[in-house]
Amino acid sequence: INEKNYEKAESLCKEFLNFFPKSYSSRCILAYIYRGLDNYKQAHLYLEEAIDLNPKKPVAHLLHGEIYFRQNKYEEAIDVLKKLLEYKVKLNNLYIILGNSHLLRNYGNYDYMKAAEYYNISLKNDSNSYLCLKNYTYSYEKQGFYLNALMILGKLLDISKKDSLVLCYYGEILYNMKQYSKAILYFTEANIIDPENIHNLNKRAIANYAIQEYDKVILDLDKIIQLDPLNSSAYYLK
């Protein structure tokens, strides 16, 4: 499996299963192999068998939910993974996948609230998880809790002060709060680090437009057009 020789691993695992037909772990390994082969239907079959053998063991449930997540079946992922919570299982990856599933299912504020709840639990175990912190920020932003979002972004900047994407995101939230001048400072800092980031240049141009600094708007739009001559939105705003 480590060498991604899934066909050989599949053959050996099935041979083992013939001798030990009630093996929970073999079914989980086979499911993992089929996951690697993108054969999700077969993976689900083996995981269902493993769960029937031992409903309270966490591995099959977690892998089951993770595969549903990979298939963009967020409803099914949530349903499967919530069973682990009923069994009082505490796995950091469980909370991250649950949070991501709620975030991407996007049924409105309820999902964003649940996502934030699960990210918060996960961060208690790994306070410096970049992806978790970033998604946590997004869940707060979508709820309109901008101060909470800025607090989480501050933690990301503590981890890496030169992260242009985080600086840009910080500026975007300040812009949403109508703090245009502060937002421009963050967009500018991001631009110093990554001067060819068109998204950041566009956001700075829009912020300057909001405070009627039109000469600065034109400068950024000209840079965007130079980097991307077919950027129709830059021509339109100019």
Whole-model pTM: value is 0.84
Statement: residue 5 has pLDDT above 80 = no
Contact 94, 62 (CB under 8 A): yes
2-11, 30-39, 160-169: which range is least confident on average? 2-11
Statement: residue 2 has pLDDT above 80 = no
Residue 101: CB partners within 8 Å, gap ≥ 6? 65, 69, 74, 77, 78, 81
Closest CA to 101 of 62, 68, 125: 68
Residue 130 Rama label (left phi>0; alpha psi -120 to 50; beta): alpha
Mean predicted lDDT score pLDDT of the chain: 93
Cβ burial 56-71 (10 Å sphere, 16+ → b, else e):
ebbbbbbbbbbbbbee
Statement: residue 201 has pLDDT above 80 = yes
Statement: residue 147 has pLDDT above 80 = yes
Task: State the pLDDT confidence band at 225, using cuts at 50, 70 and 90.
Answer: very high
* Cα–Cα distance, 110 to 42 (Å, whole number): 33
At residue 141, the pLDDT reads: 94
Statement: residue 71 has pLDDT above 90 = yes
Instruction: Enumerate domains of the chain plus CATH numbers.
Output: 1-74 (1.25.40.10), 90-159 (1.25.40.10), 163-238 (1.25.40.10)
Statement: residue 14 has pLDDT above 90 = no
User: How many residues in the chain?
Assistant: 238
Statement: residue 109 has pLDDT above 90 = no
Task: State the pLDDT confidence band at 209, using cuts at 50, 70 and 90.
Answer: very high
At residue 66, the pLDDT reads: 95
